[in-house]
Amino acid sequence: MVFLFRLLSHLPLVWVHRLGGLAGELVYWASPRYRRNLQANLAQAGFSAAWYLPAAREAGKQSLELARIWMRSLEESNAQVAEVMGWEHVQSAQARGKGILFLTPHLGCFEITAQYYSAFGPITVLYRPPRQVSLQQMILAGRKRSQLHLAPADLSGVRALIKALKKGEAVGMLPDQAPKVGEGAWLDFFGRPAYTMTLAARLSETGATVLMAWGERLPKGRGFRLHFHPPGQALEGDTLARAEQINHEIEALIRQCPAQYLWGYNRYKRPAGAEPPSRTGST
């Protein structure tokens, strides 16, 4: 894997995306389980079969483009950003000095957003290490930059996130990542209960500025367009209400660019010990 990524990192992005599209389609046809998950998740969100193959191809691009981010310097990685939308929201949040909570779902190139921001200020990102040791070392080396710090997905990591926000710094996380049992609640996501992390909602209660962030993959290897903007409606209420609002904000982002969401991700999986609600709807 490391050798493959080093090789891919030297190819132009357009070729990486072409290879990724082919790989994504190959995995789609070769893995019945993956194909079922992708189709079921798209159907649950109200998208037709016309999105199946485009979504599979984009997932393949997402996997291989990581080589162009992890295996390159920060300057080379960020040079792939062709356009930034909403940077004024980031600057306003920095001036406010209460910390920034970047919520980046599994949409587009979700690795590039924290990398890009780290060129302008310190950011701590929640990180769940993979099981493979060799892969973990590659990810750590690729993600760690001078101002990009990794926080493990445990109690010590939560403390690191809170500490960063108190210092007026930025933190980032994937709010649609399925949490471990005891770290989430069953809340509605595209009309079906999904075990949803509550950490993002709890951090939004600290007074930090909440910004949705994602990296749109541009066609023909032209790079990425970054999007930063506050939620459509300010997060309010208790932790569960805020977590449910975050789910709806993610849904709105996905509808902007449905092919680039990671539909093969098992968003509706049930962690061991987390009993789902007996009826459809949020709890």
Burial track 121-136 (b if 16+ CB lie within 10 A, e otherwise): ebbbbbbeeeeeeeee
**Cα–Cα dist 76/87, whole Å:** 20
pTM score of the predicted model: 0.93
3-state secondary structure of 265: coil
Angle between helices 133-143 and 2-9 (to 10 degrees): 30
Q: Which of 174, 53, 161 is nearest to 110 (CA)?
A: 174
230 in a domain, yes or no?
yes
Q: Residue 282: pLDDT above 50?
A: no
Q: Give mean pLDDT, residues 207-234.
A: 97
- Is the pLDDT assigned to residue 1 strictly greater than 90? no
- The whole-angstrom separation of Cα 24 and Cα 108 is 14
Residue 283: the pLDDT is: 37
Q: What's residue 136's pLDDT?
A: 72
Which two tokens mark 185?
């609640």
224, part of any domain: yes
Nearest Cα residue to 99 out of 184, 256, 211: 211
266 located within any domain: no
Three-state SS for 109?
A: coil
Whether pLDDT at 133 is above 70: no
In a domain, residue 6? The reply is no
Q: What is the pLDDT of residue 271?
A: 85
> Residue 170 sits in which domain range?
80-260
- At residue 158, φ and ψ (nearest 5 deg) are -60, -40
pLDDT > 90? residue 69:
yes
Q: Given pLDDT bands bounded at 50, 70 and 90, which one contains residue 31?
A: very high
- Residues 53 and 197: their CA atoms lie apart, in Å, by 29
* 94-119 pLDDT, tens digit each: 999 999 999 999 999 999 999 999 99
Please tell me the predicted confidence (pLDDT) of residue 234: 93
- Assess if residue 17 is contained within a domain: no
For Cα atoms 232, 234, 239, give the angle at the middle one, nearest 5 degrees. Answer: 120
> 213 near 103, Cβ under 8 Å?
yes
pLDDT averaged over every residue in the chain: 93
Instruction: Give the pLDDT of residue 280.
Output: 46
CA distance 265 to 170: 26
When divided into structural domains, the chain yields a total of 1
Q: Over the stretch 250-270, which tens digit does the pLDDT of each residue have?
A: 999 999 999 999 999 989 988
Asked whether residue 199 is assigned to any structural domain, the reply reads yes
Among 37-46, 152-161, 234-243, 271-280, where is mean pLDDT lowest?
Answer: 271-280
Pick 220 or 275 by higher pLDDT.
Answer: 220
Whether 27 is in a domain gets the answer no
Q: pLDDT per residue over 145-192, tens digit each?
A: 889 999 988 899 999 999 999 999 999 999 999 898 888 999 999 999
pLDDT (tens digit per residue) in 33-68: 999 999 999 999 999 999 999 999 999 999 999 999
In a domain, 1, yes or no: no
Q: Are 220 and 265 spatial neighbours (Cβ–Cβ below 8 Å)?
A: no
Contact 152, 182 (CB under 8 A): no
